[in-house]
Amino acid sequence: MSIRSQRYILQYIEANKRIHVSFRCPTIKQVEKSIPLFLDHLVFWGNTLTINSVKYSIMMYTKPVEEDRNSKLDEKVGLQKYITIDFERSNSGKQSRRNRIPENLEAFEAITRMINVLLGGRNNINVDRLGFPFNGIDVSHLPIELKFKANNIDFGSTYLNNYFPFIDDASFPLKEVMIQYESTERFQHPAVQTAQKLVITDFDFLFFTWVDELKNLPNKNVVFNLSVSPSITDTSRIIQTWKSSGKNTNMCYTVKNYEDREWTIEVVDEIREEFNGNFVELSMPGVRYNECISVPMSETSEIVIFGYIISDPDYTYPIRAINMQQLYDFFHK
């Protein structure tokens, strides 16, 4: 088969299958790695790399050391450590597959080797959602030639600048940036400031300490993923801050809440009374909401607020959310 034919066929094969074929057929490896890779998801997390729906993990196990047949003592002499690479395909209903790595590697070396085998030699990787969640991954694991062109990036609680040498300049401005709140300094980063959508996660119950910083966010769409339901007072502060800023900012305030079924209804009712809001009808196909109200922001604009349900396959419980945004044409009284 000619190189041209190989390139034509390989570019249409799903990424994990393509990598597997390249690994099994060394004669096409160079051709395969030169073809741009298009991915839906690419996530680095500790000892795990997820490519689309396949998770590759470096794991360390122990087993009893074989008995020494030359010894007069019939007993085990200890435990032996060994490294494996585990493969797991999400939503397949199949058990994961485990391959023992024959080389005598430490876990750190094995992670580096795994990433290099899967992604090394590539400098043209297009990915819709690139993730370094929570603490991400030590960048020393990453091949220096890697370049990602991404639409959306989850930086978790990592130091953002560590990853920019691996991100193509053509990625910016990003469609979406996800960060975990640690300090308001993270809001000042250029990648955060220019993102079309900013998603802020707060796991440390600190939301009430930085809510006033909302007026300084230039992003048009801001989402809050909070670990606990905020009080009515905190929710009111969002509206007060927004109104005082005078900015035209779309804000979607998202809270994972599955214990208090009436939480969104209570918030909307309280906000309506506090800010003299009016009931309005929402015309958004596919959105299930309880009540929708509008609160005057200025003489020419209103804030529309409603509670609704988010369906997410990653969660077994419904996610309840409060949405606050400026009134557009798809709303009508």
Share of the chain above pLDDT 90, in %: 26
pLDDT in tens, 150-171: 999 999 988 899 999 999 999 9
DSSP structure class, residue 295: E
> Residue 21: which domain range?
1-35
Domains contained in the chain, number: 1
pLDDT in tens, 321-331: 788 876 544 34
The answer to the question of residue 181 being in a domain is: no
User: How many C-beta neighbours within 10 Å does residue 74 have?
Assistant: 8
The answer to the question of residue 3 being in a domain is: yes
Q: How many angstroms separate the CA atoms of 226 and 257, rounded?
A: 9
Cis ω before 173 (30° cut-off from 0):
yes
Given a cut of 50, whether residue 73 has pLDDT beyond it is no
Q: Which long-range contacts (CB under 8 A, 24 or more apart) does 88-93 make?
A: 88/54, 88/55, 88/57, 89/53, 89/54, 89/55, 90/53, 90/54, 90/55, 91/53, 91/313, 92/53
pLDDT in tens, 246-275: 666 566 666 666 555 577 788 888 889 998
Given a cut of 70, whether residue 92 has pLDDT beyond it is no
The answer to the question of residue 31 being in a domain is: yes
The answer to the question of residue 42 being in a domain is: no
pLDDT in tens, 29-56: 888 888 889 999 999 998 999 999 899 9
The answer to the question of residue 20 being in a domain is: yes
Owner of token pair 């979406």: 176
292 vs 126: which has the higher pLDDT: 126
The answer to the question of residue 30 being in a domain is: yes
The DSSP-derived string for 87-110 is EEETTS-PPPEEEE--S---HHHH
The answer to the question of residue 11 being in a domain is: yes
Amino acid making up residue 257: N
